[in-house]
Amino acid sequence: MNLARITGTGSCLPQRAVTNQDLEDLVDTSDDWIWERTGIRKRHIVSAGETTASLAEQAACQAMQMAGKRPQDIDLIILATTTPDQVFPSTACLLQQRLGIHGCAAFDIQAVCTGFIYALSTAEKFIRTGSARCALVVGAETLSKIVDWTDRTTCVLFGDGAGALVLEASEESGILSTHLHADGAYENLLRVPGGISNREASGYIEMRGNEVFRMAVTTLGRIVDETLEANQLHKSDIDWLIPHQANIRIIQATAKKLGMGMERVVVTVDQHGNTSAASIPLALDVAVRDGRIQRGETLLMEAFGGGFTWGSVLAKF
């Protein structure tokens, strides 16, 4: 069995930033409410010509450059998104075309905010079993396209962006464990109710925020315990928490559960909002590029989202 190691990271945000003050002109909200309840200051929103695939391309190019990989070195592309450019080809195939890669497997994964954890976990299985040696794993979203911009309870929360990493077969330990879960019983708490088959149009995000919040905090607490137990690790063995960025209060609750000071938690929700499947790889790239995360450190990535889906990846960077 091969081990799988992260060898490059990249990210991309749309040019246009939308502040909380900008949203005060759209809906009955305030910078104070958004900041206090969510920890968000601004989010980036795509303009004409920017799509999930175009954001993914820039993030992927950065990750490949850091890993020193050319297009012909990539033998697997997995892209997590809830906001694909088209019904088909998959956004992974559109990305493959943009990168000039031919022939390798490429597919999308849909697990909403847990999508990147699902994608990374799947890529790791391909590498461990020898089915791939150099995978591009991407989380990319244009959530702004499925947000109801008249609904203050959701429109202040989400943003667009993409993050990517290169995962390579290695003899050094990299991904230490992955844990994936879902429970489809909670559709009524968080969903986009439309789709091709039932309405021929997607519709917009609907969320019972307070109930989702409570489920997220307890479920993420459980996934932390599950991950530590499976690896026989203590809380103090984790160097960095890289959580899904939905709400600073959910992130603080998970950090508290781990007994971690916030200085060991990568927080980007203030700058990016909730970018769903893109939020973890975006946060990872920020902390790798600013020098906080160093080789050999132990990273816990975790997410909770629509489905409900939830999961974790424990990795030695």
- Give the residue closest to ligand UT7 by C-beta: 209
Q: Which amino acid is at 70?
A: R
Count the Cβ atoms, other than its own, within 10 Å of residue 48.
5
Pairing state of beta strands 175-182 and 134-142? unpaired
- The reply to whether 12 belongs to the active site is no
**Catalytically annotated residue among 93, 244, 247, 272:** 244
Shortest reach from residue 244's CB to ligand UT7, in Å: 6
Angle at 272 between CA 299 and CA 181, to 5 degrees: 50
112 vs 303: CA distance, rounded Å: 10
Shortest reach from residue 38's CB to ligand UT7, in Å: 5
Cα dist from 205 to 121, 147, 202, whole Å = 26, 6, 9
Count the Cβ atoms, other than its own, within 10 Å of residue 85.
18
**Catalytically annotated residue among 2, 20, 247, 274:** 274
Shortest reach from residue 193's CB to ligand UT7, in Å: 16
| Token representation of residue 7 | 């060898």
- The reply to whether 113 belongs to the active site is yes
- The reply to whether 134 belongs to the active site is no
| Token representation of residue 284 | 């990872």
Kind and range of the H or E run holding 27? none
Shortest reach from residue 60's CB to ligand UT7, in Å: 23
Return the number of the residue (29 or 202) whose C-beta is nearest ligand UT7. 29
Site residues for ligand UT7 per CB under 6 A: 29, 33-34, 37-38, 113, 152-153, 156, 209-210, 212-213, 216, 246-247, 250, 274, 304-305
Residue among 246, 47, 55 at smallest CA distance from 138: 55
**Catalytically annotated residue among 113, 134, 155, 272:** 113
Return the number of the residue (8 or 305) whose C-beta is nearest ligand UT7. 305
Shortest reach from residue 169's CB to ligand UT7, in Å: 32
Cα dist from 130 to 123, 169, 262, whole Å = 11, 8, 38
Name the phi and psi angles at 15, rounded to 5.
-60, -40
Return the number of the residue (95 or 216) whose C-beta is nearest ligand UT7. 216
Shortest reach from residue 304's CB to ligand UT7, in Å: 6
Return the number of the residue (54 or 245) whose C-beta is nearest ligand UT7. 245
Cα torsion 155, 157, 160, 163 to 10°: value is -160
Residue among 67, 188, 82 at smallest CA distance from 135: 67
Shortest reach from residue 135's CB to ligand UT7, in Å: 25
Return the number of the residue (118 or 317) whose C-beta is nearest ligand UT7. 118
Return the number of the residue (16 or 37) whose C-beta is nearest ligand UT7. 37
Asked if residues 162 and 282 have their Cβ atoms less than 8 Å apart, the reply is yes
Torsion over CA: 208, 214, 220, 225 (sign): negative
Residues labelled catalytic: 113, 244, 274
